[in-house]
Structure 1
Amino acid sequence: MRPHRRVTRRAKAALVAGFGTALLAGCGAGGELKSAGRAPTAVGPARLWPQLPPASAAPYDYGEGATARILGITVPHDDVREVDPVAVLQADLLATTSRSSGSDELPADTVRKITACRTAPTACPVLQPYYRDLTGDGRDDMVLGVRRSDGRLSVRVYMAEAGRLTRIMAVSDPVISVELAGWDVIMRVPSTIAGYEYRTAWSWDDHQRAMLPTRDEILRKAPETAPSGRPSAEPSPEPTMAPPTLTASAGRR
Protein backbone atom coordinates (compact mmCIF):
# COMPACT_ATOMS: atom_id res chain seq x y z
CA MET A 1 0.00 0.00 0.00
CA ARG A 2 1.13 3.51 -0.74
CA PRO A 3 1.65 5.72 2.30
CA HIS A 4 -1.22 8.19 2.90
CA ARG A 5 -0.03 11.74 2.32
CA ARG A 6 -1.87 14.67 3.87
CA VAL A 7 -2.34 17.72 1.70
CA THR A 8 -2.44 20.96 3.64
CA ARG A 9 -5.04 23.70 3.01
CA ARG A 10 -2.30 25.98 1.69
CA ALA A 11 -1.17 23.34 -0.80
CA LYS A 12 -4.76 22.85 -2.00
CA ALA A 13 -5.12 26.57 -2.61
CA ALA A 14 -1.95 26.62 -4.65
CA LEU A 15 -3.16 23.72 -6.80
CA VAL A 16 -6.48 25.46 -7.50
CA ALA A 17 -4.76 28.71 -8.39
CA GLY A 18 -2.41 26.95 -10.78
CA PHE A 19 -5.28 25.10 -12.45
CA GLY A 20 -7.18 28.36 -12.96
CA THR A 21 -4.10 30.00 -14.48
CA ALA A 22 -3.77 27.12 -16.94
CA LEU A 23 -7.41 27.47 -17.97
CA LEU A 24 -7.04 31.18 -18.60
CA ALA A 25 -3.91 30.59 -20.61
CA GLY A 26 -5.71 27.98 -22.72
CA CYS A 27 -8.63 30.36 -23.39
CA GLY A 28 -6.27 33.09 -24.50
CA ALA A 29 -4.44 30.79 -26.85
CA GLY A 30 -7.53 29.42 -28.61
CA GLY A 31 -9.50 32.64 -28.82
CA GLU A 32 -9.97 34.66 -25.68
CA LEU A 33 -13.35 35.44 -24.21
CA LYS A 34 -14.67 38.90 -24.95
CA SER A 35 -17.41 40.86 -23.28
CA ALA A 36 -20.64 41.34 -25.23
CA GLY A 37 -21.25 44.59 -23.44
CA ARG A 38 -23.53 45.56 -20.61
CA ALA A 39 -26.70 43.48 -20.45
CA PRO A 40 -29.90 45.52 -20.87
CA THR A 41 -31.91 46.13 -17.75
CA ALA A 42 -35.07 44.05 -17.56
CA VAL A 43 -38.20 46.20 -17.57
CA GLY A 44 -41.37 44.66 -16.20
CA PRO A 45 -44.88 45.44 -17.46
CA ALA A 46 -46.42 48.63 -16.13
CA ARG A 47 -50.19 48.86 -15.90
CA LEU A 48 -51.53 52.19 -17.09
CA TRP A 49 -54.51 53.91 -15.44
CA PRO A 50 -55.16 51.13 -12.92
CA GLN A 51 -58.06 53.09 -11.46
CA LEU A 52 -60.20 52.54 -14.57
CA PRO A 53 -62.88 49.83 -14.19
CA PRO A 54 -62.56 46.85 -16.57
CA ALA A 55 -64.91 46.72 -19.54
CA SER A 56 -67.98 44.55 -19.05
CA ALA A 57 -68.99 44.08 -22.71
CA ALA A 58 -67.17 43.40 -25.98
CA PRO A 59 -67.02 46.35 -28.43
CA TYR A 60 -68.42 44.27 -31.30
CA ASP A 61 -69.40 40.70 -32.13
CA TYR A 62 -66.80 39.02 -34.33
CA GLY A 63 -68.71 35.74 -34.40
CA GLU A 64 -66.06 33.83 -32.46
CA GLY A 65 -67.35 30.90 -30.45
CA ALA A 66 -70.71 30.78 -32.26
CA THR A 67 -71.59 27.23 -33.29
CA ALA A 68 -74.62 25.58 -34.92
CA ARG A 69 -75.91 22.03 -35.12
CA ILE A 70 -76.75 21.20 -38.74
CA LEU A 71 -80.04 19.31 -38.67
CA GLY A 72 -81.01 16.86 -41.39
CA ILE A 73 -77.41 15.83 -42.15
CA THR A 74 -76.18 12.37 -41.14
CA VAL A 75 -72.44 11.64 -41.27
CA PRO A 76 -71.73 7.92 -41.82
CA HIS A 77 -68.80 6.75 -39.68
CA ASP A 78 -68.15 10.41 -38.79
CA ASP A 79 -66.47 10.78 -42.18
CA VAL A 80 -67.23 14.27 -43.53
CA ARG A 81 -65.95 13.23 -46.96
CA GLU A 82 -69.15 11.19 -47.38
CA VAL A 83 -71.34 14.29 -46.98
CA ASP A 84 -72.43 16.44 -49.93
CA PRO A 85 -71.07 20.00 -49.44
CA VAL A 86 -74.05 21.60 -51.20
CA ALA A 87 -76.48 19.68 -48.99
CA VAL A 88 -74.52 20.88 -45.94
CA LEU A 89 -74.80 24.55 -46.99
CA GLN A 90 -78.48 24.22 -47.80
CA ALA A 91 -79.15 22.67 -44.39
CA ASP A 92 -76.97 25.30 -42.74
CA LEU A 93 -79.31 28.03 -44.02
CA LEU A 94 -81.93 26.71 -41.56
CA ALA A 95 -79.53 26.16 -38.64
CA THR A 96 -79.87 28.03 -35.37
CA THR A 97 -76.65 29.50 -34.04
CA SER A 98 -75.71 28.81 -30.42
CA ARG A 99 -75.90 32.52 -29.63
CA SER A 100 -77.08 35.65 -31.37
CA SER A 101 -74.49 36.66 -33.96
CA GLY A 102 -75.06 38.36 -37.30
CA SER A 103 -71.38 38.40 -38.25
CA ASP A 104 -71.81 35.79 -41.00
CA GLU A 105 -75.40 36.27 -42.11
CA LEU A 106 -75.50 35.59 -45.85
CA PRO A 107 -77.09 38.12 -48.25
CA ALA A 108 -80.49 37.19 -49.65
CA ASP A 109 -79.11 36.89 -53.19
CA THR A 110 -76.45 34.42 -52.01
CA VAL A 111 -79.08 32.40 -50.14
CA ARG A 112 -81.17 32.13 -53.33
CA LYS A 113 -78.16 30.89 -55.30
CA ILE A 114 -77.33 28.25 -52.67
CA THR A 115 -80.92 27.06 -52.71
CA ALA A 116 -80.81 26.76 -56.52
CA CYS A 117 -77.42 24.99 -56.72
CA ARG A 118 -79.03 21.81 -58.12
CA THR A 119 -80.96 23.54 -60.89
CA ALA A 120 -78.41 26.29 -61.66
CA PRO A 121 -74.99 24.76 -60.83
CA THR A 122 -73.00 27.35 -62.80
CA ALA A 123 -74.24 30.11 -60.47
CA CYS A 124 -73.76 28.04 -57.30
CA PRO A 125 -71.53 30.05 -54.91
CA VAL A 126 -70.29 27.00 -52.96
CA LEU A 127 -66.57 26.45 -53.56
CA GLN A 128 -64.57 23.23 -53.56
CA PRO A 129 -64.39 21.67 -50.05
CA TYR A 130 -61.13 21.00 -48.23
CA TYR A 131 -60.52 18.45 -45.51
CA ARG A 132 -58.16 18.61 -42.55
CA ASP A 133 -58.21 17.49 -38.92
CA LEU A 134 -58.49 20.90 -37.22
CA THR A 135 -59.85 19.70 -33.86
CA GLY A 136 -57.22 17.09 -33.03
CA ASP A 137 -59.66 14.20 -32.71
CA GLY A 138 -58.03 12.20 -35.50
CA ARG A 139 -60.89 12.79 -37.97
CA ASP A 140 -60.98 15.21 -40.87
CA ASP A 141 -63.17 18.30 -40.67
CA MET A 142 -64.76 20.01 -43.66
CA VAL A 143 -63.79 23.55 -44.73
CA LEU A 144 -66.27 25.22 -47.06
CA GLY A 145 -66.18 28.57 -48.81
CA VAL A 146 -69.17 30.55 -50.09
CA ARG A 147 -68.73 33.45 -52.49
CA ARG A 148 -71.09 36.14 -51.31
CA SER A 149 -72.84 38.58 -53.63
CA ASP A 150 -71.28 41.49 -51.72
CA GLY A 151 -67.74 40.42 -52.71
CA ARG A 152 -66.81 38.78 -49.43
CA LEU A 153 -65.99 35.14 -48.79
CA SER A 154 -67.76 33.17 -46.07
CA VAL A 155 -65.45 30.53 -44.58
CA ARG A 156 -67.20 27.77 -42.64
CA VAL A 157 -65.79 24.72 -40.83
CA TYR A 158 -67.83 21.64 -39.88
CA MET A 159 -66.96 18.75 -37.59
CA ALA A 160 -68.63 15.34 -37.30
CA GLU A 161 -69.40 13.79 -33.93
CA ALA A 162 -71.62 10.81 -33.17
CA GLY A 163 -72.97 10.85 -36.74
CA ARG A 164 -74.06 14.47 -36.57
CA LEU A 165 -72.60 17.62 -38.08
CA THR A 166 -71.75 20.83 -36.21
CA ARG A 167 -70.59 24.13 -37.65
CA ILE A 168 -67.64 25.28 -35.52
CA MET A 169 -66.59 28.38 -37.47
CA ALA A 170 -68.27 30.95 -39.70
CA VAL A 171 -66.69 34.24 -40.68
CA SER A 172 -66.97 36.50 -43.74
CA ASP A 173 -64.25 38.81 -45.08
CA PRO A 174 -63.01 40.25 -48.40
CA VAL A 175 -60.09 37.85 -48.28
CA ILE A 176 -56.78 37.81 -50.14
CA SER A 177 -56.27 34.13 -49.41
CA VAL A 178 -57.20 31.33 -47.01
CA GLU A 179 -54.67 28.73 -45.89
CA LEU A 180 -54.65 25.56 -43.83
CA ALA A 181 -51.48 25.34 -41.73
CA GLY A 182 -51.32 22.55 -39.18
CA TRP A 183 -54.49 22.87 -37.12
CA ASP A 184 -55.11 26.51 -38.07
CA VAL A 185 -57.23 28.29 -40.66
CA ILE A 186 -55.31 31.41 -41.66
CA MET A 187 -57.10 34.26 -43.42
CA ARG A 188 -55.36 37.18 -45.10
CA VAL A 189 -57.53 40.29 -45.44
CA PRO A 190 -56.77 43.71 -47.01
CA SER A 191 -56.09 46.60 -44.65
CA THR A 192 -57.24 50.19 -45.06
CA ILE A 193 -53.58 51.13 -44.52
CA ALA A 194 -51.85 51.09 -47.90
CA GLY A 195 -49.19 48.41 -48.14
CA TYR A 196 -50.45 46.37 -45.20
CA GLU A 197 -52.78 43.44 -44.63
CA TYR A 198 -54.41 41.62 -41.74
CA ARG A 199 -53.63 37.99 -40.99
CA THR A 200 -55.82 36.05 -38.59
CA ALA A 201 -55.29 32.48 -37.42
CA TRP A 202 -58.37 30.56 -36.28
CA SER A 203 -57.67 27.61 -33.97
CA TRP A 204 -59.76 24.97 -32.23
CA ASP A 205 -60.56 25.66 -28.58
CA ASP A 206 -61.62 22.51 -26.77
CA HIS A 207 -63.24 24.40 -23.89
CA GLN A 208 -65.43 26.52 -26.17
CA ARG A 209 -65.82 23.66 -28.68
CA ALA A 210 -65.34 26.14 -31.51
CA MET A 211 -62.69 27.74 -33.69
CA LEU A 212 -61.43 30.99 -32.15
CA PRO A 213 -59.23 33.78 -33.63
CA THR A 214 -56.10 33.03 -31.61
CA ARG A 215 -53.68 35.33 -33.50
CA ASP A 216 -54.55 38.59 -35.25
CA GLU A 217 -51.74 40.57 -36.90
CA ILE A 218 -51.28 43.52 -39.21
CA LEU A 219 -48.31 43.00 -41.53
CA ARG A 220 -46.61 44.59 -44.50
CA LYS A 221 -47.67 43.00 -47.77
CA ALA A 222 -45.03 40.89 -49.47
CA PRO A 223 -43.78 42.46 -52.75
CA GLU A 224 -45.27 40.98 -55.88
CA THR A 225 -42.87 38.48 -57.50
CA ALA A 226 -42.22 38.67 -61.24
CA PRO A 227 -42.05 35.46 -63.37
CA SER A 228 -38.23 35.65 -63.16
CA GLY A 229 -38.43 35.21 -59.40
CA ARG A 230 -37.32 38.79 -58.71
CA PRO A 231 -39.57 41.38 -57.07
CA SER A 232 -41.51 43.35 -59.65
CA ALA A 233 -40.64 47.01 -60.12
CA GLU A 234 -44.31 47.84 -60.42
CA PRO A 235 -46.19 48.49 -57.17
CA SER A 236 -48.43 45.65 -56.03
CA PRO A 237 -52.08 46.27 -56.89
CA GLU A 238 -54.67 46.39 -54.20
CA PRO A 239 -55.85 42.85 -53.44
CA THR A 240 -59.21 41.90 -54.90
CA MET A 241 -61.74 39.19 -54.25
CA ALA A 242 -61.50 37.53 -57.70
CA PRO A 243 -60.57 34.84 -57.29
CA PRO A 244 -59.74 33.93 -53.67
CA THR A 245 -57.30 31.08 -53.11
CA LEU A 246 -57.74 28.25 -50.67
CA THR A 247 -54.58 26.27 -50.16
CA ALA A 248 -53.39 23.54 -47.82
CA SER A 249 -49.82 24.00 -46.63
CA ALA A 250 -47.71 21.46 -44.78
CA GLY A 251 -48.99 20.48 -41.35
CA ARG A 252 -47.04 21.02 -38.16
CA ARG A 253 -47.42 17.48 -36.90
Structure 2
Amino acid sequence: MIQSLRAPVALVALAVCACAVSGCGAPTGLDDGGAAPPMAAQPSPQPLWPNWTEGARERPGAGESAGKQPPPSPLPGGPEVPSAGLAAVDPYEVLRADPRTKALGRREKIHRPGRPGIRPPVLRDLTGDGSPELVVSADLESGRTVMAVYTARDGKVVPVLYTVGKRLAVETVGTDLVVRSGADDGAEQAVRYRWDGARLASVSDIKTYKRDDSAAPAPDGGP
Protein backbone atom coordinates (compact mmCIF):
# COMPACT_ATOMS: atom_id res chain seq x y z
CA MET A 1 0.00 0.00 0.00
CA ILE A 2 2.87 2.35 0.92
CA GLN A 3 4.66 1.60 -2.36
CA SER A 4 1.47 2.33 -4.34
CA LEU A 5 1.29 5.85 -2.82
CA ARG A 6 4.91 6.73 -3.52
CA ALA A 7 4.46 6.96 -7.31
CA PRO A 8 1.70 9.66 -7.26
CA VAL A 9 3.63 11.63 -4.64
CA ALA A 10 6.76 11.54 -6.77
CA LEU A 11 4.83 12.69 -9.84
CA VAL A 12 3.35 15.64 -7.92
CA ALA A 13 6.81 16.63 -6.71
CA LEU A 14 8.19 16.54 -10.24
CA ALA A 15 5.29 18.71 -11.49
CA VAL A 16 5.92 21.30 -8.76
CA CYS A 17 9.61 21.43 -9.63
CA ALA A 18 8.81 21.88 -13.34
CA CYS A 19 6.48 24.79 -12.59
CA ALA A 20 9.07 26.41 -10.37
CA VAL A 21 11.73 26.20 -13.08
CA SER A 22 9.45 27.52 -15.87
CA GLY A 23 7.99 30.31 -13.71
CA CYS A 24 4.39 29.18 -14.15
CA GLY A 25 1.94 29.75 -11.37
CA ALA A 26 3.57 33.00 -10.20
CA PRO A 27 0.88 34.95 -8.32
CA THR A 28 1.65 38.24 -10.11
CA GLY A 29 2.01 36.78 -13.61
CA LEU A 30 5.23 38.88 -14.12
CA ASP A 31 8.42 37.57 -15.65
CA ASP A 32 11.75 39.03 -16.74
CA GLY A 33 11.14 40.62 -20.14
CA GLY A 34 14.76 41.57 -20.64
CA ALA A 35 16.43 44.96 -20.52
CA ALA A 36 14.21 48.00 -21.09
CA PRO A 37 14.86 49.91 -24.34
CA PRO A 38 16.90 53.09 -23.86
CA MET A 39 14.95 56.36 -23.74
CA ALA A 40 15.73 58.89 -26.47
CA ALA A 41 16.98 62.22 -25.14
CA GLN A 42 14.75 65.17 -25.97
CA PRO A 43 16.40 68.26 -27.49
CA SER A 44 16.81 71.15 -25.11
CA PRO A 45 16.48 74.83 -26.05
CA GLN A 46 19.72 76.34 -27.40
CA PRO A 47 19.68 80.17 -27.49
CA LEU A 48 21.17 81.77 -30.60
CA TRP A 49 22.01 85.00 -28.78
CA PRO A 50 22.30 84.26 -25.03
CA ASN A 51 22.78 87.93 -24.15
CA TRP A 52 19.36 88.67 -25.58
CA THR A 53 17.58 85.66 -24.04
CA GLU A 54 16.58 87.28 -20.75
CA GLY A 55 14.25 90.26 -20.67
CA ALA A 56 13.13 90.13 -24.29
CA ARG A 57 9.48 90.82 -23.76
CA GLU A 58 8.13 92.64 -26.79
CA ARG A 59 5.88 91.25 -29.41
CA PRO A 60 7.57 90.09 -32.64
CA GLY A 61 6.24 91.27 -35.98
CA ALA A 62 4.39 89.03 -38.33
CA GLY A 63 6.46 86.43 -40.13
CA GLU A 64 5.45 84.58 -43.22
CA SER A 65 1.73 84.97 -43.81
CA ALA A 66 -0.47 81.92 -43.56
CA GLY A 67 -1.73 80.12 -46.59
CA LYS A 68 -0.20 78.53 -49.61
CA GLN A 69 2.67 80.43 -51.15
CA PRO A 70 5.15 79.76 -53.90
CA PRO A 71 8.61 78.78 -52.67
CA PRO A 72 10.93 81.73 -51.99
CA SER A 73 13.28 82.79 -54.78
CA PRO A 74 17.05 83.27 -54.46
CA LEU A 75 18.27 86.76 -53.65
CA PRO A 76 18.77 88.75 -56.85
CA GLY A 77 22.44 89.60 -57.15
CA GLY A 78 23.24 87.64 -54.02
CA PRO A 79 26.59 85.96 -53.44
CA GLU A 80 27.32 82.51 -54.81
CA VAL A 81 27.37 79.77 -52.19
CA PRO A 82 30.49 77.57 -52.49
CA SER A 83 30.68 73.90 -51.61
CA ALA A 84 31.57 74.87 -48.03
CA GLY A 85 28.06 76.28 -47.64
CA LEU A 86 26.82 79.46 -46.04
CA ALA A 87 29.66 79.40 -43.51
CA ALA A 88 31.92 80.63 -46.33
CA VAL A 89 29.60 83.48 -47.34
CA ASP A 90 29.92 87.06 -46.05
CA PRO A 91 26.71 87.71 -44.04
CA TYR A 92 26.94 91.44 -44.73
CA GLU A 93 26.93 90.73 -48.45
CA VAL A 94 23.79 88.66 -47.94
CA LEU A 95 22.11 91.50 -46.04
CA ARG A 96 22.95 94.00 -48.77
CA ALA A 97 21.55 91.67 -51.44
CA ASP A 98 18.20 91.27 -49.66
CA PRO A 99 15.87 94.20 -50.47
CA ARG A 100 14.31 93.94 -47.00
CA THR A 101 17.64 94.17 -45.15
CA LYS A 102 19.72 96.18 -47.60
CA ALA A 103 19.88 99.19 -45.28
CA LEU A 104 21.36 97.03 -42.50
CA GLY A 105 24.40 95.88 -44.47
CA ARG A 106 26.63 98.72 -43.25
CA ARG A 107 25.84 98.61 -39.55
CA GLU A 108 28.49 97.63 -37.04
CA LYS A 109 28.47 94.37 -35.13
CA ILE A 110 27.35 94.34 -31.48
CA HIS A 111 27.80 91.66 -28.81
CA ARG A 112 25.29 92.73 -26.16
CA PRO A 113 21.98 94.61 -26.03
CA GLY A 114 21.78 98.31 -25.35
CA ARG A 115 22.76 99.89 -28.64
CA PRO A 116 21.85 99.44 -32.31
CA GLY A 117 23.83 97.18 -34.61
CA ILE A 118 24.12 93.70 -36.08
CA ARG A 119 24.10 90.79 -33.67
CA PRO A 120 26.77 88.17 -34.37
CA PRO A 121 25.56 86.01 -37.30
CA VAL A 122 24.67 82.45 -36.31
CA LEU A 123 24.83 79.20 -38.31
CA ARG A 124 22.28 76.52 -37.35
CA ASP A 125 20.83 73.55 -39.22
CA LEU A 126 17.12 74.38 -39.39
CA THR A 127 16.17 72.13 -42.31
CA GLY A 128 17.60 68.86 -41.01
CA ASP A 129 19.81 68.28 -44.05
CA GLY A 130 23.08 68.64 -42.15
CA SER A 131 23.98 72.01 -43.70
CA PRO A 132 23.49 75.06 -41.47
CA GLU A 133 21.32 78.02 -42.32
CA LEU A 134 22.44 81.62 -41.79
CA VAL A 135 20.55 83.61 -39.14
CA VAL A 136 21.16 87.35 -38.92
CA SER A 137 19.52 89.94 -36.70
CA ALA A 138 19.83 93.69 -36.23
CA ASP A 139 18.72 95.90 -33.34
CA LEU A 140 17.51 99.30 -34.53
CA GLU A 141 17.43 102.75 -32.92
CA SER A 142 13.65 102.50 -32.67
CA GLY A 143 13.94 99.53 -30.31
CA ARG A 144 12.72 97.14 -32.97
CA THR A 145 14.67 94.09 -34.12
CA VAL A 146 14.90 92.60 -37.61
CA MET A 147 15.69 88.91 -38.02
CA ALA A 148 16.19 87.02 -41.28
CA VAL A 149 17.08 83.40 -42.04
CA TYR A 150 18.72 82.20 -45.25
CA THR A 151 19.36 78.77 -46.73
CA ALA A 152 21.40 77.63 -49.71
CA ARG A 153 19.79 76.10 -52.81
CA ASP A 154 21.69 75.20 -55.98
CA GLY A 155 24.53 77.53 -55.03
CA LYS A 156 22.19 80.48 -54.35
CA VAL A 157 21.15 82.24 -51.15
CA VAL A 158 17.42 81.88 -50.48
CA PRO A 159 15.53 83.81 -47.75
CA VAL A 160 13.26 81.49 -45.76
CA LEU A 161 12.12 83.67 -42.84
CA TYR A 162 11.82 87.37 -42.09
CA THR A 163 10.32 88.82 -38.92
CA VAL A 164 10.37 92.15 -37.10
CA GLY A 165 9.68 92.89 -33.46
CA LYS A 166 11.25 94.34 -30.35
CA ARG A 167 14.16 92.79 -28.44
CA LEU A 168 13.61 89.29 -29.78
CA ALA A 169 15.05 86.33 -27.87
CA VAL A 170 15.63 83.40 -30.23
CA GLU A 171 16.54 79.77 -29.59
CA THR A 172 16.50 76.43 -31.35
CA VAL A 173 14.80 73.25 -30.15
CA GLY A 174 16.12 70.50 -32.38
CA THR A 175 15.72 71.98 -35.84
CA ASP A 176 12.82 74.23 -34.81
CA LEU A 177 13.35 77.96 -34.33
CA VAL A 178 11.57 79.56 -31.36
CA VAL A 179 11.12 83.33 -31.08
CA ARG A 180 10.25 84.45 -27.55
CA SER A 181 8.90 87.87 -26.71
CA GLY A 182 6.12 89.73 -24.95
CA ALA A 183 2.78 90.51 -26.53
CA ASP A 184 1.19 93.95 -26.45
CA ASP A 185 -1.35 92.74 -23.89
CA GLY A 186 1.39 91.75 -21.45
CA ALA A 187 1.35 88.03 -22.20
CA GLU A 188 4.47 85.95 -22.71
CA GLN A 189 4.57 84.82 -26.33
CA ALA A 190 6.51 82.07 -28.10
CA VAL A 191 6.29 81.57 -31.86
CA ARG A 192 7.72 78.31 -33.15
CA TYR A 193 8.91 77.93 -36.75
CA ARG A 194 9.57 74.64 -38.56
CA TRP A 195 10.95 73.78 -41.97
CA ASP A 196 8.13 72.77 -44.33
CA GLY A 197 10.27 71.94 -47.35
CA ALA A 198 10.29 75.48 -48.73
CA ARG A 199 10.50 77.91 -45.80
CA LEU A 200 10.35 78.19 -42.03
CA ALA A 201 6.62 78.22 -41.32
CA SER A 202 4.93 79.04 -38.03
CA VAL A 203 3.60 75.88 -36.36
CA SER A 204 2.57 77.36 -33.01
CA ASP A 205 1.96 80.74 -31.41
CA ILE A 206 1.49 80.36 -27.67
CA LYS A 207 0.64 83.11 -25.21
CA THR A 208 1.06 82.63 -21.48
CA TYR A 209 -0.54 85.16 -19.15
CA LYS A 210 1.14 85.94 -15.88
CA ARG A 211 -0.95 85.53 -12.77
CA ASP A 212 -1.90 88.82 -11.14
CA ASP A 213 -1.73 88.37 -7.37
CA SER A 214 -2.35 92.05 -6.61
CA ALA A 215 -6.11 91.44 -6.19
CA ALA A 216 -5.76 88.25 -4.16
CA PRO A 217 -7.20 88.36 -0.61
CA ALA A 218 -4.76 88.63 2.25
CA PRO A 219 -4.10 85.47 4.34
CA ASP A 220 -5.95 87.00 7.32
CA GLY A 221 -9.02 87.67 5.23
CA GLY A 222 -8.32 91.40 4.88
CA PRO A 223 -8.41 93.35 1.60
Partner of 1:83: 89
Unaligned runs of 5+ in 2: 1-24, 29-61, 212-223
Structure 1 unaligned residues grouped into runs of 5+: 1-21, 28-60, 94-104, 223-253
Q: Aligned residue for 2:55?
A: none
SS in 2 for 1:74: coil
For the aligned residue pairs, the C-alpha RMSD in angstroms reads 3.0
Q: Bigger relative contact order, structure 1 or 2, given CA contacts below 8 A and separation 6+?
A: 2
The ranges of structure 1 where at least 4 consecutive aligned residues each deviate by more than 6 angstroms after the TM superposition are: 120-124
Q: Is the Cα–Cα contact under 8 Å of residues 178 and 192 in structure 2 kept in the other structure?
A: yes
In the alignment, structure 1 residue 67 sits paired with structure 2 residue 59:
no
**Deviation of 1:221 (Å):** 5.6
Deviations 1:13-52 (A, max 9, x none): xxxxxxxxx99xx57xxxxxxxxxxxxxxxxxxxxxxxxx
CA deviations over 1:168-213 (Å, ceiling 9, x no partner): 100111144111221111111212333x21100011101xx01101
Residue 10 of structure 2 aligns with which residue?
Answer: none
**Native 8 Å contact 1:175 1:189 kept in 2:** yes
Residue 219 of structure 1: aligned partner: 208
Please say if residues 78 and 161 of structure 1, whose CA atoms lie closer than 8 Å, have aligned partners that are also in contact: no
Correspondence for 1:165 = 157
TM-score, structure 2 normalization: 0.56
| Equivalent residue pairs, number | 145
Aligned to 2:98: 92
Q: Is 1:199 matched with 2:186?
A: no
Q: Deviations over 1:88-140 (max 9, x none)?
A: 101113xxxxxxxxxxx56xxx82xx3534xx678973221111111122211
Counting aligned pairs with the same residue, the percent is 24
Give yes or no for the alignment of 1:136 onto 2:128. Answer: yes
TM-score (norm 1): 0.50
Q: Where do 1:12-51 residues align within 5 Å?
A: none
| Distance change >3 Å, CA 163–CA 191, structure 1 → 2 | same
Q: Distance between the aligned counterparts of 2:81 and 2:130, measured in 1?
A: 16
